A and B are shown apart, each in its own frame.
Chain A
Amino acid sequence: MIAHKSGSLTFFTPDAVDNAAGQFFDTGISAGFPSPAEDFKEQRLSLDEELVKNKEATFYAKVSGQSMIGAGLDDNDLLVIDRSLEPANNKIAVCFLDGEFTVKRLRVSKDEVWLQPENPNYPIIKITEDNNFLIWGIVTNVIKKV
């Protein structure tokens, strides 16, 4: 794998192993020179590996609405949620609040929990004892179509 740095972005290009013989012959090849690339093979990049750190605890959700556009969560984006992570101040969490799922930024102080939208048109929500509330999981990645 080769890395190119350009400004703040790093591009990864898979090794160009350009050998036409690297095809699968299920009839078997009787004899021949073994591929010289065989010893240098690397795993192809896998998004699953990049995005899913704990596969038992990872779930997906779809964003509906505009309340988190400031954090880059747009309508219809796909969220990667890791339930194994501990909720903490400033994390973006999927919560269940009074009958529906919501995604907001957690604001946790000593004994108060607030759900902060990332859109000035939406109010910040204070969680009280009267709320039916649970933190369902922590958002680790956003996948969007462009």
Chain B
Amino acid sequence: MFALVDCNNFYASCERVFNPNLIGKPVAILSNNDGCVISRSDEAKALGLPMGAPIFKWESFCKANNVTVLSSNYPLYGDMSSRVMSILKQYSPEVEVYSIDESFLYFKGFDNYDLTKYGLEIKSRILKWTGIPTCVGIAPTKALSKVANKIARKYPNQTKGVYVMDTEEKRIKALKWLSVEDVWGLGRQLSKRLQTKGCKTAFDFTQLPDVWVKKNFSVVEARLKRDLEGIPTLKLDEIITQKKMIATTRSFDYSYSDIEYIKERVSTFAVSCAEKLRKQGSSCHVIIVMLKSDKHKKELEQHRTSTSVNLTYPTSSSLIISNCAISALMSIFKKGIQYKKAGVIVTGLVPIDNHQLHLFDAENPKHQPLMKSIDSLNAKYKNNKIRIANQDLKRTWKMRQDRLSPRYTTNINDIIVVK
């Protein structure tokens, strides 16, 4: 059996732990730069504040409805997440941390356990120790545990936040209840295509012939289908939704047509991707650069483009990734266009220490120790003090965080005060 443990409205819940005044009240958390709403408490959802709502459009709505709006406090959420995940490891030796607020647990040899009771125990320990409410879905496969979790979340009164899908009857009932666009891993495009084929529920999807699914979609969807049929197919740590990739994409503050400016941005995004790669211990084979003009300025010539560079050897060196990204940028940049957004995406990821050696080409062996030194210096001095020369040294990327809560668990000056 697999369990999916998901934190309810995670960011809003983290804020509530340290500010219990927010309990029972509508809370919304904004994305980086205070752009749009990315987490809402149940009360905020009930008011009709949509996910992704741009705050500049919804500011008056929030004021009128007394919604507390906060900037995202990632140091806090990261710390609370690691507490939750480390508690989960007490309940199973095999845990896959799927995202900041959800994990899969594999229950192998738990046949004699009362899994409902076990799930309730997990839930209550996390709540007591960290203050974070969760829901637990338990089922024979990963994809079904995701469905079971949705049921636990949707029907708190009946399930007390824990739902075990342990019979064929329950599985079929659940899949008939779940509409196809809510199936984990299917994506919007695919579910749209399925709906036009008359496939409305998850159950309908499982009734399609295997051959048809493989032919019209891919082996990924065919495997997902088997998992939904109750045949354990997806394993822990198997990524089904996306090929692994890391991206840094950002809108500029204004539109720019100056190549020098855009070069600097792309280099900075590339360096940021390289840092993220090194942080997770990966190297990449492919670097993608994309560039977009301002779609809101319809009167201007539009240009949306991207290109990719394939490397002969995998790398996580900022220098190489930045150089490749810039040459890719030069090949797609068009003079006279007002660009508003650029991005660097790295993919084709392999573990850093698992390189296949190339016969003729290899990364300069000096790069890895150099990157190590840069990373440790930047960790020490913050704000990326060490940059490469094609990045702007004066620019200090400052996130807009006008409504930031204190870093209650990661900064001694920010801890709660008790009277």
Q: Spell out A's residues near B (CB within 8 Å).
A: 54-57, 59-65, 67, 78-79, 83-84, 94, 96, 99-103, 134, 136
Which residues on the B side are within 8 Å of A61 (C-beta)?
A: 415-418
| CB within 8 Å of A: which B394-419 residues | 408-409, 412, 415-419
Report the minimal beta-carbon distance from B107 to chain A, rounded to whole angstroms.
21
Task: Report 26 cross-chain contacts, Cβ distance below 8 Å, ordered by A residue.
Answer: A56-B83, A56-B86, A56-B87, A56-B129, A56-B130, A57-B83, A57-B129, A59-B415, A60-B409, A60-B415, A61-B418, A62-B416, A62-B418, A64-B417, A64-B419, A65-B419, A67-B419, A78-B415, A84-B128, A94-B418, A101-B416, A101-B417, A101-B418, A102-B418, A134-B20, A136-B131
Report the minimal beta-carbon distance from A94 to chain B, rounded to whole angstroms.
5
Interface size counted on chain B using CB atoms at 8 A: 18
**B21: Cβ under 8 A from any A Cβ:** yes
Q: Mark B110-141, 1 if CB is under 8 A from A, else 0.
A: 00000000000000010011110000000000
Report the minimal beta-carbon distance from B15 to chain A, rounded to whole angstroms.
14
If A56-B83, A56-B87, A60-B412 touch, whether A102 touches B419 (CB-CB below 8 Å) is yes
Report the minimal beta-carbon distance from A37 to chain B, rounded to whole angstroms.
29
Contact B409 A64 (CB under 8 A): no
Extra 15 A-B pairs, beta carbons < 8 Å, given A60-B412, A63-B417, A83-B130: A54-B129, A55-B86, A56-B129, A57-B83, A57-B128, A60-B415, A62-B415, A62-B418, A78-B415, A84-B125, A84-B129, A101-B417, A101-B418, A101-B419, A102-B418
Which residues on the A side are within 8 Å of B20 (C-beta)?
A: 96, 134, 136
| CB within 8 Å of A: which B291-309 residues | none
Contact A103 B419 (CB under 8 A): yes
The 3 A-B residue pairs whose C-beta atoms are closest, nearest first, are A57-B129, A101-B418, A103-B418
Majority secondary structure, A binding face: strand
Q: Which residue of B lies closest to A98 (CB)?
A: B21
Which residues on the B side are within 8 Å of A64 (C-beta)?
A: 417-419
Q: Which residue of A lies closest to B126 (CB)?
A: A56
Which residues on the A side are within 8 Å of B131 (C-beta)?
A: 83, 136
Give Cα A79–Cα B415 distance, bound, in whole angstroms. 10
If A54-B129, A84-B129, A99-B21 touch, whether A62 touches B417 (CB-CB below 8 Å) is yes
Contact B87 A79 (CB under 8 A): no
Give Cα A38–Cα B87 distance, bound, in whole angstroms. 35
Q: Which residue of A lies closest to B82 (CB)?
A: A56
Which residues on the B side are within 8 Å of A55 (C-beta)?
A: 86
Give Cα A102–Cα B417 distance, bound, in whole angstroms. 8
Give Cα A38–Cα B416 distance, bound, in whole angstroms. 43
Contact B417 A57 (CB under 8 A): no
Give Cα A56–Cα B129 distance, bound, in whole angstroms. 7
| CB within 8 Å of A: which B57-95 residues | 83, 86-87
Q: Which residue of A lies closest to B24 (CB)?
A: A132
Contact B130 A57 (CB under 8 A): yes
Which residues on the A side are within 8 Å of B129 (C-beta)?
A: 54, 56-57, 83-84
Which residues on the A side are within 8 Å of B128 (C-beta)?
A: 57, 83-84
Which residues on the B side are within 8 Å of A100 (C-beta)?
A: 419
Q: Which residue of A lies closest to B85 (CB)?
A: A56
Give Cα A62–Cα B417 distance, bound, in whole angstroms. 5
Q: Which residue of B lies closest to A76 (CB)?
A: B417
| CB within 8 Å of A: which B32-46 residues | none
Give Cα A62–Cα B409 distance, bound, in whole angstroms. 12
Report the minimal beta-carbon distance from B24 to chain A, rounded to whole angstroms.
9
Q: Which of B21, B131, B418 has the most CB atoms of chain A within a 10 A radius of its CB?
A: B418
Which residues on the A side are within 8 Å of B21 (C-beta)?
A: 99
Contact A79 B418 (CB under 8 A): yes
Which residues on the A side are within 8 Å of B419 (C-beta)?
A: 64-65, 67, 100-103
Give Cα A134–Cα B128 distance, bound, in whole angstroms. 12
Report the minimal beta-carbon distance from A28 to chain B, rounded to whole angstroms.
15
Which residues on the B side are within 8 Å of A84 (C-beta)?
A: 125, 128-129
Report the minimal beta-carbon distance from B10 to chain A, rounded to whole angstroms.
16
Report the minimal beta-carbon distance from A81 to chain B, rounded to whole angstroms.
9
Give Cα A103–Cα B128 distance, bound, in whole angstroms. 18
Which residues on the B side are within 8 Å of A94 (C-beta)?
A: 416, 418
Q: Which residue of A lies closest to B83 (CB)?
A: A56
Give Cα A67–Cα B129 distance, bound, in whole angstroms. 26
Report the minimal beta-carbon distance from B31 to chain A, rounded to whole angstroms.
27
Q: Which of A54, A56, A57, A60 has the most CB atoms of chain B within a 10 A radius of its CB?
A: A56
Give Cα A60–Cα B130 distance, bound, in whole angstroms. 13
Report the minimal beta-carbon distance from A107 to chain B, rounded to whole angstroms.
18
Report the minimal beta-carbon distance from B126 to chain A, rounded to whole angstroms.
9
